[in-house]
Amino acid sequence: MEEFILFINDIDTNPTLVKELNMITLDPTHHKLLITYAWVGPNGIGDQETREEPIDIMSLSELHDYLNDSFDHILTIEDMLLNERLITYYISLENQSFIKEIDDLYCELLWRLWRKKDRNEEENVDLAITYQEYGHFLEKVDLSRSIDPYLREKTILEEVAINNPNEDNKRNVLVGLEDVIRVYEKLGDDFEKEALNYTLALFKQYEDCHLENNYEKAHIAEKIGLHYASIDTIEDLDNIDSDDQRIELSLYYHNIEKDIFKMLLDEDPSLDNKYNYGISLRQMGNRYEQLGDQDSLKQASLLYDEAYELFSELYKKDPNYRESYIIASEQKGNIAFLREKYKDALYYYEEVYQLEKEDALSNSDDDLFSVAIILKKLGKVNEKLHKIDQALAYYKESLSLNLDIEKRTDIYVRKAEVGIAYMNIGWVYMNKSEYNLAKEYFEKDLAIREKLHDEYQSVSSHYSLSLAYRHMGYVLEELDEKQSLDYFRKCFDISAYYEKKHSHEGERHYLAVSTHDLAYDLMRLGYLEEAKFYYEKVLYYLEHYKEKRKHEYVLNKEEISDEYHQLMALLKGKEKEK
């Protein structure tokens, strides 16, 4: 840790030449004070000299007493608590008694400042600054507690700005809001609603300050867009009752971001401005892709095209933009795949594969994982192009890489890719009617997903497990085994749980697919009355919900209606037999 200043004297001039204390610096690495004196005369500061004084590691209050005993009360506890470099040094010592003492000292200081009656504007700003410093301290030692002092800082600064709405006071509110937002974002998904609401307040405050459109405003708009893109509609948003509405709001703010960066690019066509504009295009493309209907996918494709051209240009001029170019290429492939333009998707995926292979020569797990993912995508697009042997080869190569990476990772997504690789291979054999081989790979997938769910107990791991149950049901159904029904019931139970909790189109469709799987297998096995109950649920869904997006598992209303009529004929025949 580098040296930092504990005390600096405000020296001007002196009628006679005198030697005065100028500065005290702490060298934390060598545990010593550097004490600098200066000769001061009528013309100001002259020659200086520094002496070193070794010190023991001591608490903040002990250091305060030591300095004041040695140099006649030059520092207050408040001075030391507001010295962020000093507080960071104490945190780095990882001495819990020192940290607790600092915590207590902040609380004592804040209580004293808060109790003062009839504080003027300057005193209120000083109080807000002290709350901010306490927040900085807690942010490093106890994150969840830091939100309270930051909220108090923000509230005081807002009150100051209301009482005296000058530009400086309004801008101070921006600082308070930024502190609050930063902590809520660090606290994660459980606090995304709070992060979004305060970021919206920050955007409004930015406009109230009449600040020009610049990078800061664009990035605030980007943050709001990202929050709307990922937040839970049902649990966290008031007066918004659909995912599409939420994504439209995300698009609104990303469009503000895009317009600002376009304006800045027109003013100055620098590489940085091109990069920022390209990112804004990518963000909007992502949102249109989330909407998922054909018109939105077409709009996403146009945005990705423009972003691709920009990042191609940037990469040609500067190799540091390589990763951005790879992402742009992959997005071109993804959107082509979703729009069923499989030859185009193959072109871009192969381009990405060549670049990722070169990067993987580093043997870093990040680069190897990227190769495994693009191999999976190459497998999928080759399947769509009916190049089954080529698809299988890509899937097996992806599996091999994922198995190697899995040995060295604790990251859920990377562990889960092993199961996904087994699943993809299983589906190739399933589609080739090689059901025993398909079963072998689906069983391996299921074993991994059960283990991961036991370990992580997350929404992702639970959904993933339901998918493995579904696939086991499919293959056992083809093998005419009764155990298929157990797996379809398990898949249905998980689907119903999440549809009840988050009734979005994705969850509703997934439940409808699970319900149809269960209904069909019940009919196959002769449980006709129960099958009728579930078929009617599926038909109700198809009648009352208009699907806007393209889903992996397709529900064909005509085919399901035909199955239902067959079921009713069976039930009628059964009644006649009675």
In the prediction, which pLDDT does 234 show?
62
Enter the tokens of residue 21.
Answer: 């204390």
How far is Cα 385 from Cα 394, in angstroms, rounded to an integer?
A: 14
What is the pLDDT at residue 296? 95
Residue 166 has pLDDT above 90, yes or no: yes
Least confident interval from 65-74, 193-202, 325-334: 65-74
Residue 185: CB partners within 8 Å, gap ≥ 6? 191, 195
Average pLDDT over residues 326-354: 98
Closest CA to 385 of 434, 341, 331: 341
The pLDDT of residue 211 is: 83
Q: Are 430 and 478 in contact (CB under 8 A)?
A: yes
pLDDT (0 to 100) of residue 300:
98
> Following CA atoms 196, 202, 204, 210 in sequence, which dihedral angle do they give, to the nearest 10 degrees?
-160
The pLDDT of residue 383 is above 90: yes
What is the distance between the alpha carbons of residues 252 and 250, in angstroms, rounded to a whole number? 5
- Cα dist from 5 to 25, 85, 86, 395, whole Å: 4, 8, 8, 59
pLDDT bucket at 139, cuts 50 / 70 / 90: very high
Task: Return the pLDDT at 235.
Answer: 62
pLDDT score of 42: 87
What pLDDT score does 282 carry?
98
φ, ψ (nearest 5 deg) of residue 93: -70, -20
What does the alpha-carbon distance between residue 145 and residue 275 come to, in Å, rounded to a whole number? 37
Distance separating alpha carbons of residues 298 and 283, to the nearest angstrom: 15
CA atoms within 13 A on the CB side of 208: 19
Average pLDDT of the residues in 444-456: 91
Percentage with pLDDT > 70 across the chain: 98
pLDDT category of residue 279 using cuts at 50, 70 and 90: very high
Longest Cα–Cα distance of the chain, Å, equals 123
* CB contact at 8 A, 415 and 459: no
DSSP string, 384-431: HTT-HHHHHHHHHHHHHHHHHHHTT---HHHHHHHHHHHHHHHHHHHH
3-state SS record for 67-103? HHHHHCCCCCHHHHHCCHHHHHHHHHCCCHHHHHHHH
Exposure letters 180-193 (e unless 16+ CB within 10 A, then b): bbbbbbebeeebbb
Give yes or no for a contact between 426 and 475, defined as CB atoms under 8 angstroms apart: yes
Supply the pLDDT for residue 236.
60
8 A C-beta contact, residue 456 and residue 412: yes
Q: What is the DSSP letter of 211?
A: P
- The mean-pLDDT minimum among 75-84, 247-256, 497-506 falls in 497-506
Confidence of residue 456 (pLDDT cuts 50, 70, 90): confident
pLDDT of residue 287: 96
Non-local CB neighbours of 2 within 8 Å, separated by 6+ positions? none
Output the pLDDT for position 507: 84
What average pLDDT does the chain have?
A: 93
Quote the pLDDT of residue 545.
83
> Across the beta sheet with 4-8, what order do the strands follow?
4-8, 18-27, 32-41, 44-54
Residue 286 and residue 310 in contact, taking contact as beta carbons nearer than 8 Å: no
Residue 237 has pLDDT above 80, yes or no: no
Predicted confidence at residue 503, as pLDDT, reads 63
pLDDT tens for 205-224 read 999 998 887 999 999 999 99
User: What would the two tokens of residue 559 be?
Assistant: 């085919």
Rounded Cα–Cα distance for residues 136 and 303 (Å): 40
Residue 464 CA from chain centroid, whole number: 20
Cα–Cα distances in Å, from 176 out to 131, 136, 155, 170?
A: 10, 12, 8, 10
Mean pLDDT of 258-279: 97
Categorize the per-residue pLDDT at 17 as very low, low, confident or very high, splitting at 50, 70 and 90: confident
CA atoms within 13 A on the CB side of 178: 11
pLDDT of residue 302: 98
The angle formed by the CA atoms of residues 395, 399 and 402, to the nearest 5 degrees, is 135
Entry pTM: 0.84
Phi-psi region of 48 (alpha: psi -120 to 50; beta: other; left: phi over 0): beta
Q: Establish how many alpha carbons lie within 13 A of residue 28's alpha carbon, considering only the half-sphere containing its beta carbon.
A: 17
Pairing of strands 4-8, 32-41: unpaired
| Token code pair at residue 352 | 């990405």
For residue 574, pLDDT over 90 is answered with no
Collapsing DSSP states into helix, strand and coil, what is residue 162? helix
306 closest CA partner among 273, 277, 345: 277
Give me the pLDDT at residue 578, please: 65
pLDDT on residue 232: 74
pLDDT value at 461 more than 90: no
The pLDDT > 90 percentage for the chain reads 81
Tokens matching residue 140: 């490093």
Per the CB < 8 A criterion, the answer to whether 274 and 265 are in contact is: yes
d(CA 442, CA 475) in angstroms, rounded, equals 8
Q: Is the pLDDT of residue 530 over 80?
A: yes
